Structure 1
Amino acid sequence: MSSYDLHLSKQKLTYLTTMKQFVHAIATEEESIAKLLRAESSKTTAFLGTDQSFPSNPTTLEIVKYNQGVIRFLDSMIMTQWLMLKKISAMSTIQMFQTERPLSEESDSENNSELDNWEYENFDY
């Protein structure tokens, strides 16, 4: 096996390993979010009661405060999902930076400047 083939093999292995770890991390995060949503749902059911009878007899102010808490929670969940979407989008476009030949010093500096500008061109903040 030539050094070029070895380099290419290591690069692909590293990329595949990284992608597997990335997908696993996203799946774990999604499971965690699902657990949080179930917990929030149970909390809401307990607050409202199964027949929406408000078993704890909350005041109007307590209901408003609870609603604000739910809104903050859901806002956090939406932001988390948005960030995951951005991560997935970034990872899906990284493949275009995979090269099939070893980088020379000249092309390496060119690729670094491409990477520096790529983020600003491809992400809307």
Structure 2
Amino acid sequence: MKTANQWNIVCTVDDLVPESGIAVWTPDGPVAIFYIPYRLPALFAISHTDPFSGTNVLARGITGDLKGEPVVASPLYKQHFSLVTGQCLENEDVKVKTYRVLLDGNAVRLEIRTASFEAVAA
């Protein structure tokens, strides 16, 4: 099995809300895209699923900065997740998946790893 990277268009710049997140559906499941215009990079993407509750709510969390680290606070139990690494700041054993994201003209693209299968000669 080989893996490949695929850059999917998930939304446009017009869909983004400054200092907030939006949820998008991808082949990898729900992803939260955050737009923090005063930071470089300004776009961040993490799993939309809160690992403590199992619900898709992280895009609705409050963004902020803890000791220079851009974070989102889960709207349910208030844990903070790094927008750079996905690490939960209150529990070192918990981490959400992060994604590479970029702006391509007006399109926001998200990198999704896909698996492809090779036929094996018998």
The structure where strand makes up a greater share of residues is: 2
TM-score category of the 2 structures, normalised to the smaller one: under 0.3
TM-score (norm: length of structure 2): 0.22
TM-score (norm: length of structure 1): 0.21
Larger Rg over CA atoms: 1
Q: Higher relative contact order by CA 8 Å / sep ≥ 6: 1 or 2?
A: 1
The structure where helix makes up a greater share of residues is: 1
